[in-house]
Amino acid sequence: MAALAPAYASEPESTEEPMEVMLVTADFRGLAVEKIPSSVTVIDAQKIEDEGAQHFEDILGTVANFNWSGGTSRPRYFQIRGVGEQEDYKGAPNSSVGYIIDDIDLSGLGMVSSMYDLQQVEVLRGPQGTRYGANALAGLIYLKSNDPTEQFEHGGQLSLGSDNLRTFAGFSSGPMVDSGELLYRVAVEHHGQDGFRDNAFLGRSDTNERDELSFRSKLRWYAGDNTQVDFTLMHADFDNGYDAWTLDNNGFDTLTDMPGIDAQRTTGVGLKIAHDGFKYAELTSLTSFGGTAHHHGYDGDWANPDYWASRVCESYDDDWNVIGAEPCEYDYTWDKRGDRATVSQEFRLASNDDGRIFAGSTDWLVGLYGMQLDEDNNLQSFYNGWSDEKLRSEYSARNLALFGQLDSDLGNALNLSVGLRLERRESDYRDDAGDNFDPSENMWGGHIALGKQLSDNHNLYGRIARGYKAGGFNMSLPTEFADKKEFSAETLYNYEVGLKSAFLDGNFDTNVALFFMDRKDQQVSASQQDPLKPQRFILFTENAGSSTNYGAELDANWYATDNLHFYGSLGYLVAEYGDYSYQDKYGALVDLSGRELAHAPNWTWALGATWRMDAGFFANVNANGKSEFYYSDSNDSVSDDYSVLNARAGYEADSWSVYLWGRNLLDERYGVRGFYFGNEPDNGWADKQYIRFGDPRMVGVTLDIRL
């Protein structure tokens, strides 16, 4: 096994059959996962297929120290090692977790993530300050679809299942001209299901439906001996319902009269040009555009006029004195529509073999990055037949960054990687309520990593990384929150040591990492129910004094025989506030110092096994789970721990396969998002825990054909 930096000596020739090398494509140089001096999980196409994952939601439980916030129909907001957003209701995006599909930045828009025809998913933990900058304070999720092939390949897939599930997909790939200079690949999928909710008031079972179309196309042009051009076009149209909450926490039988919507229509274009015709360096240009129209709305009273009229509420005189009782009146809807456009350009110049410096010991890389993000939002809500809140806003952010990296072979199997990124961010915000902000700041991040090849099968590394997240502002705050109009940038220092090992002639491998994260000026998202207007919430972000996150991660694979593969992951995390307190809606001081952060379970785990017979029979069983975690930083509402069991079995022939499968086979009821507030006027708006649950048991059959 080679050492950790790209400037290593070539590996000795071997007469043994080479094992498959899994490259991390999100890295500058596309290194093998065992050579990356950081904690990385790569989920390849084979594992995606074995587990029958249709959407990123189906496999995210297999990643150690990873969580998501279920306030949308599909996961959009992620937490890595306890760091990440849980929601974005106002419309000034500022992500902590980067989300990229084929070099197109969709951070904060992760719901359009079909797994069909995907090469691999990469989750990089810890700040990626050198490579990705401000959008990757906590880490990065990178989805890489399959590239065009030199030979023709075609395929189709059909899945049918419970909850009226029906999925149709197909792909085609191959050369467009006889010379092989121009290749193509096209993949399309349509996924639909009812969404596991029965709306008793409307007599419908599709108010929480998923109606999801995904399309990807790629062209690869070999424009000469030294130039490769890759063009990517993606389009996703997710027109989903959102009817997920119940007043009695039954989870699946709703009463709403105005079911919500959670829709996202995204078109992305990417152009990558790689030229290696220079004597000492290779030039890479990455151009991308992403345009998204998103729409999120919900029935905020979670019921209907008939239900509330059957309940008894207190009645008041003009001075708000209780004078008796009357039927309740409560009708509230919330709706936000937004349009986002992101354009980015990156140029990288990286040394080749002849361009190494310091006596040929060091690879170098320099780059320039620019990004423009614009988003317009239109928010409105209605309360008891009256317009309650309206807000039209325009937001713009511009980022310009200069970065560089050195990777050196120090001798004695020691390798050093040093990276630095300088970034300038300017933003503008204005709305029709009179708020105007134009913050700007200079930020920097980077890393120092030292690797030591202990033997052919064991690589040890240590890494220090600095990440950053831009500061920002809070809009639509009442006058008593005037001191919270703006908040500062956050800085995160990540200290990590890891060991990447192979045993049993390479048939058993492990990746172990220990980490400590020191967050300075941590940005905390808070929400408080307005005591005078209980249908409304006051949303703001402020800086906590500090917090610390520490823990460990383990990924393991064991190929016990040619036919039997075991795999698993384990994450341990302690994420606590250092010094943070706030005032609740009644003015009382709440001290969270020492409390654990939201959506940061102490334990995450996953286990799986795949068995394939030479005769074609196949079976996979996998399970994953989490320990309890706080749902919010604004209250002490806590989830239950849970585990989910999945299985898939079938027969695989040369050109076709058929599978029976089941997800959440034990029908575990588990929470993915929770609120703690008052939403029942007949109960005096008393605070109560409300939980949104994940998908219940689902079974189905899949037919896959490949030509």
Q: In whole angstroms, give the CA distance from residue 213 to residue 170.
A: 12
Give me the amino acid identity at 299.
D
What confidence score (pLDDT) does residue 536 get?
81
Question: In 3D, which of 169, 77, 64 has the Cα closest to residue 114?
Answer: 169
Provide the token pair at 523.
């940005």
Buried b (16+ CB within 10 A) or exposed e, 390-422: ebebebbbebebebbbbbbbeeebebbbbbbbe
Task: Output DSSP code: residue 36.
Answer: -
Give me the amino acid identity at 438.
D
Question: In 3D, which of 488, 687, 473, 522 has the Cα closest to residue 588?
Answer: 687
Q: In whole angstroms, give the CA distance from residue 208 to residue 214.
A: 19
Give me the amino acid identity at 654.
D
What confidence score (pLDDT) does residue 74 get?
95
How far is the CA of 452 from the CAs of 8, 112, 216, 499, in angstroms?
12, 40, 41, 10
Dmax (CA) of the chain? 91
Chunk the chain into consecutive blocks of 10 residues (it has 707) and report each block's average pLDDT, rounded to whole numbers.
36 43 82 88 96 96 95 94 88 89 93 96 94 90 96 97 98 94 97 98 97 98 95 98 96 96 97 96 97 96 96 87 91 96 97 95 97 96 92 95 96 95 96 93 96 94 95 85 86 96 95 96 83 80 85 97 97 91 74 89 98 95 97 88 98 96 97 93 92 96 96
Cα–Cα–Cα angle for 118, 506, 626, rounded to 5 degrees = 55
- Helix, strand, coil percent values for the chain (each to nearest 5): 5, 60, 35
Q: In whole angstroms, give the CA distance from residue 572 to residue 512.
A: 11
DSSP of 504-535, one letter per residue? GGGTEEEEEEEEEEEEES-EEEEEEE-SSSTT
Q: In whole angstroms, give the CA distance from residue 7 to residue 3.
A: 9
| CB neighbour class for 494 (10 Å; exposed up to 12, middle 13-18, buried from 19) | buried
Residues 6 or more apart whose Cβ sits within 8 Å of residue 16: none
Q: In whole angstroms, give the CA distance from residue 702 to residue 91.
A: 39
Question: How many residues would you count in the chain?
Answer: 707
For tokens 């079938």, the residue is: 650
Query: Around Cβ 478, how many Cβ atoms within 10 Å?
Result: 11
What confidence score (pLDDT) does residue 547 get?
84
The two beta strands, 440-455 and 153-161, are: unpaired
What confidence score (pLDDT) does residue 179 get?
87
Question: In 3D, which of 624, 610, 596, 517 has the Cα closest to residue 560?
Answer: 610
What confidence score (pLDDT) does residue 204 get?
97
Residue 604, phi-psi category: left (phi > 0), alpha (psi -120 to 50), beta (remainder): beta
Q: In whole angstroms, give the CA distance from residue 187 to residue 706.
A: 13
How far is the CA of 704 from the CAs of 117, 155, 171, 436, 665, in angstroms?
12, 7, 11, 54, 22
| CA distance from start to end of the chain | 36
Q: In whole angstroms, give the CA distance from residue 536 to residue 330.
A: 13
What confidence score (pLDDT) does residue 8 get?
35
What is the four-CA torsion angle of 34, 36, 39, 45, rounded to 10 degrees?
A: -60
Is residue 630 within 8 Å of residue 594, measured between CB atoms? no
Q: In whole angstroms, give the CA distance from residue 671 to residue 641.
A: 9
How many Cα atoms sit within 13 Å of 400 on the Cβ side? Answer: 4
